[in-house]
Structure 1
Amino acid sequence: MKKWLNYLPTIFIITIVFSLFMYSTQGSVNHMNYTQFQQAAQDATFKNATIDIQDTVLKVEGTYTKDGKPTSFNVIIPNTEENLEWVSDQVREDGGTVTITDPDSGALWATILGQLLPLGLIAVFFYFMFAHMGGGGNNKAFEFAKSKARVETNVKTRFKDVAGCDEEKEEVKEIIDYLRSPQKFTDMGAHIPKGILMVGPPGTGKTLLAKAVAGEANVPFFSISGSDFVEMFVGTGASRVRDMFKTAAKNAPCIVFIDEIDAVGRQRGAGMGGGNDEREQTLNQLLVEMDGMTDNNGIVIVAATNRPDVLDPALMRSGRFDRRVTVNLPDVKGRKEILQVHARNKHLAPSISLEGLARRTPGFSGADLANVLNEGAILAVRNKEKVITQDDLDEAIDRVMMGPAKKSKKYTDKDKWLVSYHEAGHAVIGLKLDDADIVQKVTIIPRGDAGGYNLMMPKEEKYFNRKSELIAQITGLLGGRTAEELVFGEISAGAVNDIEKLTSIAKNMVRVYGMSSLGPIQYADPQGNVFLGRDYTKGSDYSAGVATEIDREVRSIIDDCHTMARKILTENRNLLDLIAHSLYEHETLTNEEITNLMNYGQLTDPNAPALPEPKKDEPQKTQLDLSKDEPDGQNKSSDSSEKPSLPDVPAPEMDRKSLDDAMNELSRRD
């Protein structure tokens, strides 16, 4: 059928050309009336004539010759015996032939069909043109209320493709057993949950887990988004819900997956100005359909959301979504398993450790980890490498966290020193404060909106933070701003993101966690949301005097952390200067290099085995050498090879002697 539709425009054009040709042919015929025909009969010689006898008239067509020129003619005259005999005699006298047609021979139908055929083809052409406008007919009125659920009958996803959520798999294994053999549940008098609600942050694999359940059970998988139900036309969403459950019942056993159910399942009657009537009608129909589902009918509703706090209580009660499965961010073991799944088709270098990569990515979801490996593969192709190297994955982690590096953005010399000391301040706090996170990487290369950043990882996976750890986080965030105050005597706007984070932590300590002198009292509702109508007209739960005390406690926590940060940086000023100089020269320092700076005063470990000599044409990596102070301000090695100079820091007490003393003191401590 589609092949013929492709030829329809060609057929239409041919029909138009044929009609125009027939019209032009008919235009050369001499149409005469009865009087003109009588006059022409006196002067012309008839060659032939065809007489079509109708009820009241005679239709005469033929040719005649006048002045040696042949001409076609047609004329309609009254149907009488005298006219019929006259026309016949006139033609025969001129030597022409006369043909009389039978009125019942069917020529009338041929004439009618000849006239209607072009009109019919034109009508068919425009019908298909309008029918296929709007993307193949998806916007037809009679299909508007149909469900938009997409059906997969042969799902290839299995549990082996889902990693990092072993406990969640155990929660849904009964669903697989039920869909495979529901009789054993019926015999025991048990009924499977009608609905399963999967809750968790974005990218943790909720959709993938639901698809894996359908794949393991080998049943059809209906997937639809919550926003597909809601339309601007009244009753459309409810109609689509009815159609979806009707279609699912015909394909039972099956799984119906509703992604982002909060789009249709929000609380009814909430929000400023009332609720959305169409959305609430859709939700009511969904509740009714789930109540109407009989036990063990072979349909399992699986929904996913990252906002369970906004769902309607009627949707969450037993008998509808009976079971809630929380899909959390993976731990280090789960991240390693996820990396192994996504690394199946990746060409990784033999030296790459997925376990080490998993330890470097705390807080990453499964989607983030897949993106890291994909970005690493893209960088390897861009660099024309045969395998994905560790440098590619390091850059991929930075790109996922902060965005691509802006290497074309150039600092002024003063700004570069400022950023170097800012990031060095964060690093020193992380090294010297016990409860602070471990510094993994420091760079002053701009990424995203940040002029530089510290990659700091916790020493171990935590499910909750102690007060001392929150204090250490605030102190670490104040390290950059405090370093600017200590070295330059002024502050910049580069710490705006740090201030935002530490303020949020301090407020939560006082208002939510009860970690202040105000005691274990919560002065904030963490679930309050103006768009749900929960606290739009509701005032605060505490007086103005308590609000003043809260502000005082928040300020006290931040001031104490600021004092601690200044003390640590003052006591370790030499290490701060050393890391800042190294950052200024090399722009990026790893955890190993920072540790070497703290322990040995240089980027490399002097006790490490010597590396093989590089080839003559291979450039050597320049190391920071502060052992000699040349008169011209440049360091030169014994073979007189030039090394890049270190500009003087525009800060007091910053000279080569202080740096030499710093290295000597650090060596004595070791």
Structure 2
Amino acid sequence: MYSRWIRNSFFWLLVIVAVIAIFFAFFANGSDHQSVEFGQVITDAERGRIEKIEVDGRTLTVTYIRQANEETGKVVKAKAGPNTNIEEILTQRGVALSRAPGTAEGVPAVNLEYKDSSGFGPFLGLLLNILPFLLFGLFLLLIMRQAQGSNSQAMSFGKSRARLFTGSKVTVTFADVAGVDEAKEELAEVVEFLKYPEKFAALGARIPKGVLLVGPPGTGKTLLSRAVAGEAGVPFFSISGSEFVEMFVGVGASRVRDLFDQAKKNAPCIVFIDEIDAVGRQRGAGLGGSHDEREQTLNQILVEMDGFDTGTNVIVIAATNRPDILDPALLRPGRFDRKVVLDAPDIKGREAILNVHMKGKPVADDVDVAVLAKATSGFSGADLANLVNEAAILAARRNKKIITMKEFLEAIDRVILGPERKSKVMSDLEKKVTAYHEGGHVIVAHFLKHHDPVYKVTIVSRGMSGGHTRFLGEDTSYHTPSMFKDRMASALGGLAAEEIVFGEASTGPSSDIQQVTRIARSMVTRWGMSKKLGPRTFGKTEELIFLGREISETRDYSEKIAEEIDEEVRELIDEAHATATKILLEHRKLLDKLANVLIEVETLEGEQLVRLLNSDPDEPWPPPDLAEPKPEAAAKPTAEETPRRPIFEPKPTTGLAWESSNQSRTDGG
């Protein structure tokens, strides 16, 4: 900061000096002097009009002042050739050279003086004449340097754009990263390599050239790489894969060379390349040929990582969420020796991540981190950070001094579905249809053996959803056909409820039908869960390597098998619809009670929802202990702000646990 201030001050000082010099060079002299021919000087001397002649230097710049009766005080300049002898000329013309001005006995006399006759005068004058132009050129040079610093695209195509974080500036450590314990253990060895290379060199171990971090967006790949640099205390170069590629061929390769040159000068250090799939995709895709810019950039990366120069202590950490499209030459040992997978955190990891982000924030005592971790199944680290931030914003908006459980629970809905659509006005019929639709999801899920427990139901509109039902998904890795069938039945609960109550269904269950169809088709064609067709897969998707996305599905089965697949999918959906209808018909009174309560209060969650589902359908709601608060509870000053802590009693399941979806289980109406 101080050096930048000095540079800026010096720059403006030069600007001021240049402006002053240019002003005096082009304006000051012209206002006080008059230039005449040298012959005019001789003529005026002969006529006795000259008071004084000053000869300055060998270039014979003559300065004289005319007599008082003609332009007193006016300075006139004239120039003669370098070999002109002014004394000889004046003497031949009859002009007396004296110290006193005027005439001597009728003879014109001129006071002739020599100034700086040693010869330094002309050089000084030349310097003064050239100085403004030098300063002006320096001014233009500084302007160009400033422009190059602010927008280097026009001046430095081949320079690397990597951002350098020195070891003293990197403040992120492993203590700031949670939920990825296995990945931290893998990268802890990289830190030891950078800190104590001689320890491994003594055993003949080779320092790994690269570490590839693979995982969905938001799982902490960039944060983890910065933590490695922070733990090791070494310089950290950060750049995105897209910053290598330009429209000019060869620019990307030049930037790769410049990046690794800088890294070698700062070794030992870490080079982090985010989204490396932008330049590391498989070669030979047939688009662009051998002169393709991405291929040249990738070739240069391959050479820099494992070329002839193998003695550098530079570790490359790259991140991507598409490892399947990377070039095999990039993934081989010697370039990326290790592949660290970062997945969405489990319940313990989410709890640890929430604790990290809550650190330093005023959190109320009623906040149960374990409940929040269970309610955020499928959330990534970035989602959880956003959740805590949204809760803090809600608390500030409500002028609270601390963040309560109420803000955290509402923040979950905001992260998943968006803010409440308070401006949307629902008619009584729409509100009733939504209440029965969401009530159908809840009733069917509650009475299914292999379904996740119900967590919350609301008919408040959020995002594109008129209402939603959320379940507490378990962190499991396997799922069975029974679990899928129960999930499909629950998804069709809204459709069945509308058909039972209103005689026909609306367009509300459209997303539920899409979800059920996708699950049923995947059960038959991908997971081999069809008894009729057996354990085999049907169809495969083709990918365009260069684009890295699925473009089509190839059928590897006959038309007869296609008909059987459609029949199996139809049977699974019909079975789920029949199951949902049967449960709702058996518990029609409970469905009516739940729908009426939702129309009145709009949202039920936690203990209240569980108690309503386990209550007698003929009993009034709310029960006395919920309708009339206890005296001791009413006496507490924070009773209105502090929600009751939800009590969840998950139903026991048999068989293998069901893998939750990528987000917290939500069925929207």
For this structure pair, what is the TM-score category when the shorter chain's length is used for normalisation?
Answer: 0.7 to 0.9
Q: Report Cα offsets for 1:161-195 as digits up to 9, x if no partner.
A: 22222222233333233333333433433334332
TM-score, normalization by structure 1: 0.83
Q: 2:144 aligns with which of 126, 130, 141?
A: 130
Q: 1:65 aligns with which of 68, 72, 79?
A: 68
Residue 320, structure 1, aligned to residue 320, structure 2: no
- Is residue 88–residue 98 contact of structure 1 (8 Å, CA) maintained in 2? no
Using the TM superposition, give the Cα deviation of residue 391 of structure 1 relative to its aligned residue in structure 2, in angstroms: 0.7
Q: Where in structure 2 are there 5+ consecutive unaligned residues?
A: 1-6, 642-669
Residue 112, structure 1, aligned to residue 123, structure 2: no
Using the TM superposition, give the Cα deviation of residue 221 of structure 1 relative to its aligned residue in structure 2, in angstroms: 2.8
Using the TM superposition, give the Cα deviation of residue 454 of structure 1 relative to its aligned residue in structure 2, in angstroms: 1.3
1-structure distance, mates of 2:476, 2:306 = 41
- 1:212-611 aligned at under 5 Å gives the runs 212-270=227-285, 277-292=292-307, 298-458=313-473, 460-516=474-530, 517-525=532-540, 528-529=543-544, 532=547, 539-600=554-615, 601-606=619-624, 611=630
- Is residue 236–residue 269 contact of structure 2 (8 Å, CA) maintained in 1? yes
Instruction: Name which of structure 1's ranges 167-176 and 394-403 shifts more when overlaid on structure 2.
Output: 167-176
- Is residue 165–residue 334 contact of structure 1 (8 Å, CA) maintained in 2? yes
**CA spacing shift, 1:3–1:317, aligned 2, 3 Å:** same
- 1:14-25 aligned at under 5 Å gives the runs 14-25=20-31
Secondary structure of residue in 2 paired with 1:493? coil
2-structure distance, mates of 1:403, 1:620 = 25
Secondary structure of residue in 1 paired with 2:54? strand
Using the TM superposition, give the Cα deviation of residue 492 of structure 1 relative to its aligned residue in structure 2, in angstroms: 3.0
- Is residue 46–residue 95 contact of structure 2 (8 Å, CA) maintained in 1? no
Q: 1:156 aligns with which of 135, 159, 171?
A: 171
- Is residue 58–residue 122 contact of structure 2 (8 Å, CA) maintained in 1? no
- Is residue 434–residue 459 contact of structure 2 (8 Å, CA) maintained in 1? yes
Letter in structure 1 aligned against 2:39: Y
Using the TM superposition, give the Cα deviation of residue 476 of structure 1 relative to its aligned residue in structure 2, in angstroms: 1.9
2-structure distance, mates of 1:514, 1:447 = 37
Using the TM superposition, give the Cα deviation of residue 118 of structure 1 relative to its aligned residue in structure 2, in angstroms: 1.8
Using the TM superposition, give the Cα deviation of residue 399 of structure 1 relative to its aligned residue in structure 2, in angstroms: 1.2
- Is residue 187–residue 228 contact of structure 2 (8 Å, CA) maintained in 1? yes
Q: Where in structure 1 are there 5+ consecutive unaligned residues?
A: 622-670
- Is residue 596–residue 603 contact of structure 1 (8 Å, CA) maintained in 2? no
1-structure distance, mates of 2:590, 2:544 = 46
Residue 49, structure 1, aligned to residue 45, structure 2: no
The equivalent of 1:612 in structure 2 is: 631
- 1:138-217 aligned at under 5 Å gives the runs 138-139=152-153, 141=155, 144-146=158-160, 148-154=162-168, 155-217=170-232
Q: Quick one: higher RCO (CA 8 Å, sep 6+), 1 or 2?
A: 2
Instruction: Name which of structure 1's ranges 422-431 and 170-179 shifts more when overlaid on structure 2.
Output: 170-179
The equivalent of 2:649 in structure 1 is: none
Q: Report Cα offsets for 1:16-55 as digits up to 9, x if no partner.
A: 44345315415x626356369637954x743322245857
**CA spacing shift, 1:587–1:271, aligned 2, 3 Å:** farther
- Is residue 176–residue 216 contact of structure 1 (8 Å, CA) maintained in 2? yes
Percent identity between the aligned chains?
A: 43
Secondary structure of residue in 1 paired with 2:509? helix
Q: Report Cα offsets for 1:393-446 as digits up to 9, x if no partner.
A: 111111111111122222222222222222222222221222222221111222
Secondary structure of residue in 1 paired with 2:10? helix
2-structure distance, mates of 1:14, 1:58 = 24
- Is residue 541–residue 551 contact of structure 2 (8 Å, CA) maintained in 1? no
**CA spacing shift, 1:617–1:374, aligned 2, 3 Å:** closer
Using the TM superposition, give the Cα deviation of residue 598 of structure 1 relative to its aligned residue in structure 2, in angstroms: 2.2
2-structure distance, mates of 1:307, 1:423 = 37
1-structure distance, mates of 2:391, 2:156 = 49
- Is residue 51–residue 61 contact of structure 1 (8 Å, CA) maintained in 2? no
2-structure distance, mates of 1:575, 1:19 = 98
TM-score, normalization by structure 2: 0.83
**CA spacing shift, 1:354–1:293, aligned 2, 3 Å:** farther
1-structure distance, mates of 2:638, 2:131 = 83
Q: Report Cα offsets for 1:515-556 as digits up to 9, x if no partner.
A: 223222222336745754897698432334433333333233
- Is residue 455–residue 606 contact of structure 2 (8 Å, CA) maintained in 1? yes
**CA spacing shift, 1:8–1:407, aligned 2, 3 Å:** farther
- 1:636-647 aligned at under 5 Å gives the runs none
Residue 89, structure 1, aligned to residue 96, structure 2: yes
Secondary structure of residue in 1 paired with 2:68? strand
Q: Report Cα offsets for 1:573-631 as digits up to 9, x if no partner.
A: 2222222211111111113222222233455455789622748999999xxxxxxxxxx
Q: Report Cα offsets for 1:231-263 as digits up to 9, x if no partner.
A: 222222222223333333343333332221111
Letter in structure 2 aligned against 1:393: F
- Is residue 65–residue 73 contact of structure 2 (8 Å, CA) maintained in 1? no
Instruction: Name which of structure 1's ranges 341-350 and 221-230 shifts more when overlaid on structure 2.
Output: 221-230
1-structure distance, mates of 2:233, 2:41 = 86
**CA spacing shift, 1:344–1:317, aligned 2, 3 Å:** same
Using the TM superposition, give the Cα deviation of residue 276 of structure 1 relative to its aligned residue in structure 2, in angstroms: 7.7
- 1:4-43 aligned at under 5 Å gives the runs 4-26=10-32, 29=34, 31-32=36-37, 34=39, 38=43, 42=47
Letter in structure 2 aligned against 1:398: D
Secondary structure of residue in 2 paired with 1:368? helix
2-structure distance, mates of 1:620, 1:353 = 18
Letter in structure 2 aligned against 1:173: A
Using the TM superposition, give the Cα deviation of residue 355 of structure 1 relative to its aligned residue in structure 2, in angstroms: 1.2
Residue 98, structure 1, aligned to residue 112, structure 2: yes
Letter in structure 2 aligned against 1:7: L
1-structure distance, mates of 2:77, 2:316 = 77
- Is residue 309–residue 527 contact of structure 1 (8 Å, CA) maintained in 2? no
- Is residue 594–residue 603 contact of structure 1 (8 Å, CA) maintained in 2? no
Using the TM superposition, give the Cα deviation of residue 280 of structure 1 relative to its aligned residue in structure 2, in angstroms: 1.0
2-structure distance, mates of 1:589, 1:477 = 19
- Is residue 224–residue 258 contact of structure 1 (8 Å, CA) maintained in 2? yes
Q: CA RMSD of the aligned region, Å?
A: 3.4
Letter in structure 2 aligned against 1:29: Q
- Is residue 330–residue 336 contact of structure 2 (8 Å, CA) maintained in 1? yes
**CA spacing shift, 1:20–1:173, aligned 2, 3 Å:** closer
1-structure distance, mates of 2:490, 2:183 = 36
Instruction: Name which of structure 1's ranges 430-439 and 606-615 shifts more when overlaid on structure 2.
Output: 606-615
Instruction: Name which of structure 1's ranges 414-423 and 594-603 shifts more when overlaid on structure 2.
Output: 594-603
Letter in structure 2 aligned against 1:480: G
- Is residue 210–residue 337 contact of structure 2 (8 Å, CA) maintained in 1? yes
